[in-house]
Structure 1
Amino acid sequence: MTSSGTVQVTDHREMLNGDKLVLRGLKFHGYHGVKPEERKLGQKFLIDVDAWMDLRVAGNSDNLSDTISYTAIYRIVKEVVEGASQNLLESVAQLIASTILSNYHQVSAVRVQVGKPHVAVQGPVDYLGVEITRYRSVDMQS
């Protein structure tokens, strides 16, 4: 917010051109949705995550301690998707993104895509879902 009380909009596109950790095609069974059968029977969810951070030190050192383990992010996604039921995919994605940003200060931005391959629509689809991008500089301010 500026001194005049207006919100200052920042273009974050340049941030998304940097280094990132990439997790693709994560599959979990969860109980998210607004329909009772979705919450009772559950269904498969497909998750992709990009976590932007500077990977130069890890690239030069070849030490895991200089980066974030893929398995640490995988565990966050698994805990959220297999955890407490949410009505909306937007909420699932937000929980994943905010947990990654809260747990790993090195991550400057995170993109989360949540897909549902089994949806009741009139035609064939691979999946339907949501994609969100969250930025530490905007979404983690107090």
Structure 2
Amino acid sequence: MDDGEISKGDKLIMRGLKFHGYHGVHEAEKKLGQKFLVDIDAWLDLKKAGETDNLNDTVSYFEIYRLVKGVVEGPSHNLLESVANTIACSILTAYPPITALRVKLGKLHVAVQGTIDYLGVEIYRNRPK
């Protein structure tokens, strides 16, 4: 998907969500777990909420946070790609006003030779038409 397709318009922004999960292909990752960092962009029309100042006219950050927490802290996946896709599909299913989504997911502690902030994936999903 072309990033330009969804990068315009209103969106909810969630940055730096941190959770402890048990994802990875190595047994130690599944047993000990590790910290994961999640950023979310959720595109939806925010005009009505801006006019009414009513939570019912938008999607709650808190509800998205709880959903993401449930996925990251839930059942183990081998790949970050699978975790990110599960987050995206779950959000799009639960919140029909959201038309598109960006999920950025990173592992903060990776056994690599060198200094890193994190390693991860970023996916974009549009609501099926």
TM-score higher than 0.5: yes
Q: Which residue of 2 aligns with 1:130?
A: 121
Is 1:38 matched with 2:29? yes
Q: Which residue of 2 aligns with 1:70?
A: 61
Q: Which has the larger radius of gyration?
A: 1
> How many corresponding residue pairs?
129
Q: Which residue of 2 aligns with 1:88?
A: 79
RMSD of equivalent CA atoms = 1.3
**Residue identity matched to 1:31:** Y
Matches within 5 A, 1:97-108: 97-108=88-99
Q: TM-score, normalised by structure 1?
A: 0.87
Task: Assess, with a 3 A threshold, how the Cα gap between structure 1 residues 45 and 61 changes in structure 2: closer, same or farther.
Answer: same
Structure 2 counterpart of 1:16, from 3, 7, 13: 7
Counterpart Cα distance in 2 of 1:41 and 1:70: 29
Q: Which has the higher contact order (CA 8 A, sep 6+)?
A: 2
Structure 1 counterpart of 2:46, from 50, 55, 58: 55
Counterpart Cα distance in 2 of 1:26 and 1:15: 22
Question: Deviation digits for residues 104-142 of structure 1, max 9, x if unmatched?
Answer: 110000000110010011110000000000000xxx36x
Deviation of 1:15 after TM superposition, in Å, equals 3.0
Q: TM-score, normalised by structure 2?
A: 0.96
Structure 1 residue ranges (4+ consecutive) displaced by more than 4 angstroms after TM superposition: none
**Alignment gaps of 5+ in structure 2:** none
SS in 2 for 1:58: helix
